[in-house]
A and B are shown apart, each in its own frame.
Chain A
């Protein structure tokens, strides 16, 4: 295999592994804000117990997000050196802004969020949770801006010739608000909120079907369900605006999403499902609504939509992967909406916690937004091919010349082994945390120290509990 395929595989693999964690931490962070807010409003200790429980899980998710995220910051330089030198003037500033405005914020206040429960006032803790949620969101903002610039470059010009040639910035705000950044960002954030709320729904449904921590689980469920429903409802709208923008700015990509091979000069159909065949230039075994694609793009059923054969063969993206991933995302989005909608109706009828099959569905439904988020990105990134920067630089032109295939093969194998290990440990530890459940409350509403911790600290003369005169957990309540 050549360096290009290997480098693309490595980038795809490392970014997909990384992307398990950021949407989960963004969505979960905002739900933890809601839990702490509920505590401050009601002074009901169970909400604090809930927030403390999800904090522990959040810490694991965040750590894996950081560990897998460092790789991404440097991979442009290691594997895509020509790309880096060509676009660094424009692309680099968004990445640096992410570091300065977002990473410091989230990682700094994460310390207070996770380790500060018994050290800072509850008010400060709530502020820290809000800041971590903002920081996680800001980092999504900057990285999505950087990605959007690769999809729809703006605010730059090409300077120099030959080996001096590169893109330089002309207008920073045009770069930030390039034609796809707002549409992409809203859709990505909606996806993150669905992910976070489905995660809380999954954990609380698990407790409900098992008959554990029922009161807390019901409360968590009731916080997460409205969020999940609202954002599942938003997703088709943000998705539609995003697709409209793709139709305007990257028509070849839309044609690939929709399996729209041939220009007929008439209204284009919308395939509900099918198997596109690039060889035969048609979609097989599928069902289509005639004229519907034209209607979604233009508002009427007869105006033509650019098809793949409107573009020279060397500029056409692959079709199979974008088509299937795009349709998978839409299918799962519909599933999310149907599930949360039905749950809301059951809630209204007062039956949601009695409908066991529904709760069981929620336990596993957390996979749906996780896969949908991945599928959406795969469609967006494969649909951008053969360009690394759309219309400007081809993926095959962006590689590092100093790197040979053997090196990339070595790093891919290592990533494969390490990430497989990390993922299994992540699932294992997550499972343990969820099975252990929230810590019990004391009478005054704070957690007990575990029996073993207390016992060992009393028996051990060098215990920090004794020597440092640790504050009692309740002292600042």
Chain B
């Protein structure tokens, strides 16, 4: 395995970690209106209270690692998705502060406003993540100026340039993937909440597991069909590397195990299954685009891949050392912290 491939895998790991961990956070945010009383609302927020911040660090580190390992991709993706990306950032900002500010005052108006902000920002962020994934699957109108012999006249310039507009990003396929993300995270969040709550709230959350699972299943099937029809290059790697079908099988098994585990009354297994579902979906995304980071819809030769978009071998090597020292430490103390906050939510002096 060369360093470029290693970093493609490591970015996949960071993205998987982010999707699993912040996935249930965002899901809890979208389920928040299910809570009726103020106490229930606080329990829901505090179920993720100590954890959401650490979970969001996976996204920040993903951004830093993408910058370091594949700067061309970092530059191209974020400048192309400028508007969508700032909308996402504003949503994440509002999410963070709505949790922090909500319970600081007893006023009903104050709390109601922050509750709405929490729901809307969680939904917007999830939808935009999905829309971004949908666009990465389809590709962008990307031109490699060197390969296309376009002279910009500047001393230095962006090598890859894409001319998509914000509205083009919101195409039907991308929106469908957006709703796949919404349904997936809502389901994931409902199972997480089931583990964290008790009594009447838990019973209502239990009903929501079934509803959101049904919603997810429908969107999942639709997305699969739509992908096979609309994005033919997504199956390219499956034809050449049949081993990739293992992921598809595991994905289906993980999805099937969720209702089974819920039915048998084993929510922890259901949660693990939904974690595996998310991991498998990130894997499928990676297989669908590999070895590209951004697929060009104009000419496959203009695509930005893990070789022409990468940093030097030396940087990738240094970064690999940093990751190999850092990530095991991160994983072990993350485990300690999750262990510390295991069990049902308890509201105390320091709760939101």
Contact = CB atoms under 8 A, between A and B. Distances in A.
B86 interface: yes
Interface stretch (B173-181, B206-214, B269-277, B317-325): B317-325
B53 A66 contact: yes
Given A66-B96, A86-B156, A100-B322, A464 B43 contact: yes
A82 B64 CA distance: 16
Given A84-B71, A85-B71, A104-B61, A112 B314 contact: no
A193 B119 CA distance: 37
A59 interface: yes
B301 interface: no
A333 to B, nearest CB: 32
A217 B74 CA distance: 49
Contacts of A91: 67
What does DSSP make chain A's interface, helix, strand, loop or mixed?
helix
B50 A168 contact: no
A164 B156 CA distance: 8
A115 B319 contact: no
A403 interface: yes
Contacts of A429: 101, 104-105
Contacts of A60: 100
Nearest to A432: B104
B345 interface: yes
Interface residues of B, number: 84
Given A411-B86, A465-B346, A73 B101 contact: no
B159 A169 contact: no
Interface stretch (A258-266, A335-343, A449-457): A449-457
Contact of A71 (B53, B69, B89, B346): B89
B200 interface: yes
Given A66-B56, A89-B71, A93-B319, A468 B101 contact: no
B161 A95 contact: no
B108 interface: no
Contacts of B82: 78, 400, 402-403, 407, 411
What does DSSP make chain B's interface, helix, strand, loop or mixed?
helix
Interface string B54-97: 10110111011101110110111111101101100110111011
Contact of B350 (A55, A76, A166): A55
Contacts of B200: 462
A1 interface: no
A90 B67 CA distance: 10
B346 A464 contact: yes
A402 B164 CA distance: 9
Contact of A109 (B43, B163, B327, B337): B337
Interface string A72-103: 01101111011011111111110111111101
B136 to A, nearest CB: 15
A46 B124 CA distance: 45
Contacts of B319: 93, 96
A465 B37 CA distance: 16
A69 B350 CA distance: 23
Contacts of A473: 348
The 6 closest A-B pairs by CB, nearest first: A88-B71, A77-B78, A92-B68, A99-B61, A111-B50, A100-B326
29 contacts: A63-B97, A70-B59, A77-B77, A78-B82, A78-B86, A81-B75, A81-B79, A89-B311, A92-B315, A93-B315, A93-B318, A93-B319, A98-B64, A103-B61, A104-B333, A109-B337, A112-B340, A119-B340, A119-B341, A165-B156, A168-B312, A168-B315, A397-B156, A410-B83, A429-B104, A463-B39, A464-B345, A470-B348, A473-B348
Given A100-B330, A108-B337, A163-B152, 18 more contacts: A70-B89, A74-B85, A81-B76, A81-B158, A82-B156, A86-B156, A88-B67, A93-B322, A95-B67, A100-B326, A104-B333, A107-B56, A109-B333, A115-B50, A119-B341, A402-B161, A429-B101, A447-B349
